[in-house]
């Protein structure tokens, strides 16, 4: 069956004209009639590429060396592009050298102003080489191809393109002044709130080059020059968290995080279309001032929901809101929960809980202070796993001492261990999960464990060793004994696994328990099945890695 998917939008505010900078991508194609630097009348030419801004000149890269020629062809296929990530570009500078064993000889220089009106963008074009050397074959030239890599002047206003042709929306950041050079990740992420699940909050994604349920942030790991831009984040409507014949409603809030930055960050939101005849369209932009390290929210949150069950029509609405800063709250958890309360509609039944991602850790003492409740003596750990239909799974818990010797374990086939301190049960009523047939959960009498218990490892595995697809992951929740939700963690991974560790509880020297969300996949072969091989692999990982030492440093903040 083919479902008709349309995207409706409602913008209730005026979008002002944008005066944004342009980024350029250029290719060094070939050299023509270059001067000779060797006794044989030839050269071994190559080109170094520089970009000049108002403040500095920085190196972008170089071409290959082409030996013994005055007419080198470096990139006829346009396969090696040089992108200047600074919107403050004033000049492209090409310096041509002759490769030599002792010292490279300079053959000449080409300087190109990108604002030069006679540039034929997207076409090969030759520029004269300024040189002090004589050339016998004619005027020396360098042929390049310059393209507008990001040109907001070519964008159309949001209300000028036909409804229904928008495939995804994108986000980009412009920094003024530019960021310093260096390796860095993207500064943008999203808070996602689920109205139907007590305001379940997630930060998506929080890993570079990560694609999570339709939200993708492409974050390069190369060395940047001084840059006024961040990589693009995009949201693919067709892959977002919507379910046919449900009333699930999701709300998303873009947030920008920058460390030690003084200046203004412009968040640009634009629409990309299914058909090439419709150019990119600006939806809105925010100018977000920064004065140091902070996390700042966008002035627009967008609402995604299924509006018509029979046609599965996805409705996207933007709503204006004030800027919020995490520095104004005691912790990021307080900030995220406050955003949830201001964005979700008043009829939402909120669960007050700590929302964790795979790279967040905290202690039970911190959680108890956050909630204003005593530390629960009996925890209930729920596995709301969403990505394994048709694959019989087993959940299990293993307890280790300080030397990682196993003190006991339980799983589906051995549902009770350690004098009732560990249990493994299945919820047939689907009380905690609306979308699966079963929910696995493990009650743990944490304070009744033997004194030597230091680590509690929780895993999920198949009954055999055949890999199963872990496409999205799921939620891992901690309740106390009276059903108050204490915290929530999200574990996500793409790929095939035979098992995965989800969380480690660690009893620290001060007696407090640290909750360490840790998504560690396992793929193994052999005669052993069930959780035993995964327990063994988990034990070896914890025993031999530096993970716990790293976590100990993090836990010192609590």
CATH superfamily of 362-555: sav2460 like domains (2.60.60.30)
What is the pLDDT at residue 522?
82
Q: What is the pLDDT of residue 399?
A: 94
CB 126 within 8 A of CB 32: yes
* Among 358, 374, 302, CA closest to 493: 358
Evaluate whether 106 touches 133 at the Cβ level (below 8 Å): no
Express the helix, strand and coil content of the chain in percent, nearest 5 each.
10, 45, 45
| Residue located via tokens 């929210």 | 297
pLDDT at site 291:
92
Residue range 85-118, pLDDT digits in tens = 555 677 889 999 999 888 899 999 999 887 665 7
Distance separating alpha carbons of residues 362 and 331, to the nearest angstrom: 12
pTM of the shown model: 0.63
Residues of the chain under the 50 pLDDT cut: 1-20, 160-163, 207-211, 220-226, 242-246, 275-277, 307-313, 430-437, 558
304 neighbors 316 (Cβ within 8 angstroms): yes
Alpha-carbon distance of 155 to 172, in angstroms, equals 14
Using alpha carbons only, give the angle 84, 89, 92 rounded to the nearest 5 degrees. 70
Tens-digit pLDDT profile for residues 395-411: 788 999 988 899 999 88
Residue 261, Cβ neighbours under 10 Å: how many?
19
- Count of Cβ atoms closer than 10 Å to residue 353 Cβ: 23
Q: Quickly count: other Cβ atoms within 10 Å of residue 272's Cβ.
A: 18
pLDDT at 378: 82
pLDDT at 455: 92
pLDDT value of position 493:
64
Characterise 328 by phi-psi region: left (phi > 0), alpha (psi -120 to 50), beta (else): alpha
Q: Which two tokens stand for residue 32?
A: 């023509």
Based on C-alpha coordinates, what's the Rg of the chain? 29
Please give the DSSP secondary-structure letter assigned to residue 396.
E
Say how far apart CA 479 and CA 381 lie, in whole Å: 6
Closest CA to 254 of 196, 324, 197: 324
Q: Are 234 and 216 in contact (CB under 8 A)?
A: yes
Per CATH, which fold does 23-150 belong to?
Immunoglobulin-like (2.60.40)
Query: Which pLDDT does position 376 carry in this prediction?
Result: 80
Distance, in Å, from the CA atom of 210 to the CA atom of 188, rounded to the nearest integer, reads 12
Q: What is the pLDDT of residues 167-191, one digit of tens each?
A: 677 888 878 887 766 555 568 888 8
In order, the DSSP letters of 474-506 are EEEEEE-TTS-EEEEEEE---EEESEEEEEEEE
Any idea of the CA torsion for 74, 78, 82, 84, to the nearest 10 degrees? 140
Per-residue pLDDT at 159: 52
Q: Could you give the count of Cα atoms lying within 13 Å of 43 in the half-sphere of its Cβ?
A: 26
Sequence-separated (6 or more) residues with CB below 8 Å from residue 299:
284, 286, 320, 321, 322, 323
> DSSP alpha helices (H): ranges in 287-363?
332-343
Residue 94 is predicted with a pLDDT of 95
Dihedrals phi, psi of 158, to nearest 5 degrees: -60, -30
Residue 72 has what pLDDT?
A: 95
Q: φ, ψ for residue 380 (rounded to 5)?
A: -125, 120
- Domain spans, the chain: 7-18+152-351, 23-150, 362-555
DSSP 73: B
Q: Work out the angle between the directed axes of helices 547-555 and 532-544 (0-180°, nearest 10).
A: 70
């Amino acid at each position: 069956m083919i479902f008709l998917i349309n995207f409706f939008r409602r913008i209730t505010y005026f979008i002002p004209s944008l005066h944004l900078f342009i980024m350029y991508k250029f290719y060094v194609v070939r050299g023509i009639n270059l001067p000779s630097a060797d006794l044989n009348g030839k050269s071994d030419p190559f080109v170094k590429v520089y970009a000049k801004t108002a403040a500095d000149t920085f190196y972008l890269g170089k071409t290959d060396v082409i030996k013994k020629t005055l007419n080198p062809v470096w990139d006829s296929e346009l396969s090696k592009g040089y992108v200047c990530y600074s919107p403050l570009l004033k000049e492209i500078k090409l310096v041509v050298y002759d490769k030599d064993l002792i010292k490279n000889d300079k053959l000449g220089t080409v300087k190109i102003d990108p604002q030069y009106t006679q540039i034929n963008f997207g076409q090969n074009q030759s520029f004269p080489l300024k040189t002090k050397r004589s050339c016998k074959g004619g005027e020396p030239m360098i042929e390049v191809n310059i393209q507008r890599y990001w040109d907001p002047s070519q964008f159309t206003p949001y209300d000028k393109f036909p409804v229904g042709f928008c495939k995804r929306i994108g986000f980009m950041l412009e920094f003024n002044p530019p960021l310093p050079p260096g390796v860095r990740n993207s500064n943008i992420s999203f808070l996602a709130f689920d109205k139907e699940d007590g305001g379940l909050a997630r930060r998506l994604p929080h890993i570079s080059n990560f694609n999570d349920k339709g939200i993708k942030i492409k974050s390069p790991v190369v060395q940047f020059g001084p840059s006024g831009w961040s990589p693009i984040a995009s949201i693919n409507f067709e892959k977002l968290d919507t379910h046919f014949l449900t009333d699930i409603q999701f709300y998303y809030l873009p947030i920008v995080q920058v460390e030690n930055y003084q200046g203004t960050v412009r968040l640009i939101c634009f629409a990309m279309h299914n058909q090439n005849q419709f150019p990119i369209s600006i939806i809105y932009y925010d100018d977000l001032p920064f004065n140091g390290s902070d996390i700042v929210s966008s002035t627009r949150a967008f609402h995604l929901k299924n509006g018509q069950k029979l046609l599965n029509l996805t409705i996207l609405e933007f709503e204006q809101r004030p800027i919020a800063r995490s520095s104004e709250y005691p912790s990021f958890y307080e900030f995220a929960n406050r955003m949830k309360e201001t964005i979700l509609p008043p009829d939402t039944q909120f669960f007050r809980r700590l929302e964790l991602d795979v790279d967040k850790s905290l202690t039970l003492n911190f959680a108890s202070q956050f909630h204003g409740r005593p530390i629960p003596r009996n925890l209930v750990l729920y596995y709301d796993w969403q990505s394994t239909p048709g694959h019989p799974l087993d959940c299990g818990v293993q307890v280790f001492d300080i030397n990682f010797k196993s003190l006991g374990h339980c799983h589906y086939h051995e549902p009770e261990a350690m004098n009732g301190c560990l249990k493994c049960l299945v919820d047939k009523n689907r009380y905690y999960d609306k979308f699966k047939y079963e929910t696995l959960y493990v009650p743990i009498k944490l304070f009744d464990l033997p004194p030597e218990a230091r680590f509690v490892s929780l895993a999920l595995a198949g009954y055999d060793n055949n890999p199963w697809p872990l496409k999205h992951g799921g939620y891992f929740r901690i309740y106390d004994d009276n059903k108050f939700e204490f915290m929530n963690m999200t574990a996500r991974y793409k790929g095939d696994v035979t098992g995965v560790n989800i969380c480690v509880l660690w009893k620290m020297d001060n007696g407090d328990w640290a909750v360490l969300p840790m998504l560690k996949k396992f793929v193994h072969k052999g005669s052993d099945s069930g959780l035993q091989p995964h327990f063994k692999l988990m034990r070896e990982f914890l025993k031999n890695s530096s993970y716990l030492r790293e976590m100990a440093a993090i836990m010192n903040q609590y």
